[in-house]
Structure formats: structure tokens, C-alpha cells
Amino acid sequence: MPAGTFDLAWRQIDRHLGQDGRFAAKHVDEWVVVTRDGEEFGRFGTAVERILGMDFSPDGRYLAVAHPDTVILYDLTTKRPKALFTPPLESIRFSSDSAHLVGREDYQQVRNGRLVVIDVATGKWVASPVPPEIEVSSDPGSYWYSGSFAVFDHGDQVVAAGSDGFLHWAVGSQQLTWVPCGCGAEAGAVDRAGSLVALVIPMHNKLSLWEVAGRREQRIWALAERSPLDASPQSAYFGVEPHFTEDGKWLLLDGEEGGQVWSVPDGVRVTIASPGRN
């Protein structure tokens, strides 16, 4: 497995690895952070049982944790917490320069909650307009949902990827732009740099890669054959989510059959054995 997928492998067992590999975290009543060699670095109390999201900053300085009522920023150099006093957020993520955080309010029945960008240095935050109701073309009666976000361009732009396409938010002008793929995608992901979006298309067993800046499909790949979930061959990739590695060069599709890793630059698939296989 390429080294860049280590963070994703750890997340499958509820552990989270920092981008530089120096720290890993696991939540057991509190956040336990260990160093690369397995030594305990520190314990960061949360006083809550339910954690909505977390992320290490790419520069290795911070651990951000989304609580039910706010976001807490733990400085890994001083081990001190700082409350950012934001709205309750889910699926938080740092920008690639570690200067900003992006998250989303709770899902609201037929639409996503507002997107929120936080300035890490000042704690100031700005929220988007409430996203529109977007019905998924391949599943009438279902609505677009995103759990993958990226903030970039010095906090001025946000992309949220999900079923059927992605949403772009120009923070300064407060303009939301829906970019549909028209391909029947069920799940999507955006890389941390906010430059690429990957969409899984179960009904055709395909993976679509989009360029955010040009808002166009860059390439499409045929996914490997796998056993369907039920009698329909189109169900083989339902529920499978894509994940970019930190450097954006590899794309991982999780799943019960060991997952798949694709090289983004050249589209070559790397075969990974299922857990427990030699």
C-alpha cells in the first residue's frame, strides 16, 4: 500500500494519523495522542461521549475536535485547548496551509447545514447561506449530502463533494454554485487542496475525477469487478466512499473486499489484499 494511505488505514479502526506521521489519536472518553514510536504524548479531555469530527493540522501543530456545541483546538506544542465558539459542526477539516478550518452544521432533513470557515489564528468564523435542496438524479426522493469538504485560497473558497456533484462556495461574495456531474454518483470526496473531486458511480461501476477550477470531468475509470450486495449487479459499489490521501496523489475506495487504491496522476490501480490475506 502506498505510504500516503496510512492515515486512511488507521481511520478504519477509529485511529487518526497526522499528515507528517508524528502523532496518532484515538478517542476513548478522551483523546489519547501517541507519537510515531507508540509512546503516549498526551491526553486531551473532552467531557463528552459523542465527537462529531476531528482533524490534525497539516503542519502538525494542532488537533481540532468538533464537539456537539463548539470546536476545540488543541495546541500540540503547549498541550493547551482553545475553544473557537463556533456553531456545532461536523466533518471538520484544515486547509492545506493549516490557517483555516471548514465544517458543516448538522444535516437538516432535505438539505445540508451551512458551511463554516474558521480562521485558526483569530478564531473568527463566517457561515455560508443555507445550501439549497438538491434532489439526487439517480435516486428521486433523496437529497444531496456531503461529508467531504476543503477550504483553500486563503480561506476564500470552499468545495463540498457528495452525491451527484459538488457545491462551490465563494466566501467573499457568499455565492453558492452547484456543479452537477449528471452521472448518477452516489458518494464523493474532495482533496485537501480543493483542486480535485472524485465521484463513485455505482450504477455503472465507474469512478469520475473532476477538476474543481474548470468545473469539468477530467477522466473516468472503470472500477474492478466485485460481488454485488444483492441480486442487482449495479449494487456492487453502493455505500463505497472515496478518500484522497493527504498529498492528493492517491485515491482510496473503502469496502469490505480490501478496498482499492488508484494513482491519481496516471490512473493506475494498485491491488490491495483483503485484511487477513497473505
Do 227 and 237 meet the contact criterion of CB atoms below 8 Å apart?
Answer: no
Count: domains in the chain = 1
* Residue 249 included in any domain: yes
Q: What share of the chain is helix, strand, coil (3-state, %, to 5)?
A: 5, 45, 50
Instruction: Spell out the residues 6+ positions from residue 28 whose beta carbon is closer than 8 angstroms to its own.
Output: none
Secondary element (H or E) of residue 159: strand 157-162
* Residue 11 included in any domain: yes
> Whole-prediction pTM value?
0.80
- What would the 3-class secondary structure string for 30-85 be? EEEEEECCCCEEEEEECCCCCCCEEEECCCCCEEEEECCCCEEEEECCCCEEEECC
* Residue 277 included in any domain: no
* Residue 63 included in any domain: yes
Mean per-residue pLDDT over the chain, rounded: 79
Do 23 and 76 meet the contact criterion of CB atoms below 8 Å apart?
Answer: yes
- CATH code at 133? 2.130.10.10
Q: Which domain holds residue 198?
A: 3-270
* Residue 127 included in any domain: yes
% of the chain residues with pLDDT over 70:
72
* Residue 275 included in any domain: no
pLDDT score recorded for residue 210: 95
Nearest to 82 by CA among 65, 101, 60: 65
Taking the C-alpha atoms of residue 130 and residue 125, their distance in angstroms, rounded to an integer, is: 15
Q: Sign of dihedral through CA atoms 99, 211, 8, 246? A: negative
- The residue that leads in pLDDT, 199 or 22, is 199
Taking the C-alpha atoms of residue 7 and residue 243, their distance in angstroms, rounded to an integer, is: 10
- Give residue 158's pLDDT band: very low, low, confident or very high (50, 70, 90): very high
pLDDT tens-digit map of 18-73: 555 454 544 445 556 666 666 666 665 555 555 677 888 999 888 888 877 888 88
Taking the C-alpha atoms of residue 179 and residue 173, their distance in angstroms, rounded to an integer, is: 17
- Give residue 156's pLDDT band: very low, low, confident or very high (50, 70, 90): very high
pLDDT tens-digit map of 84-129: 888 888 889 999 999 999 999 887 766 788 999 999 999 999 999 9
* Residue 243 included in any domain: yes
pLDDT tens-digit map of 223-264: 877 665 555 555 667 778 888 988 899 888 876 555 778 889
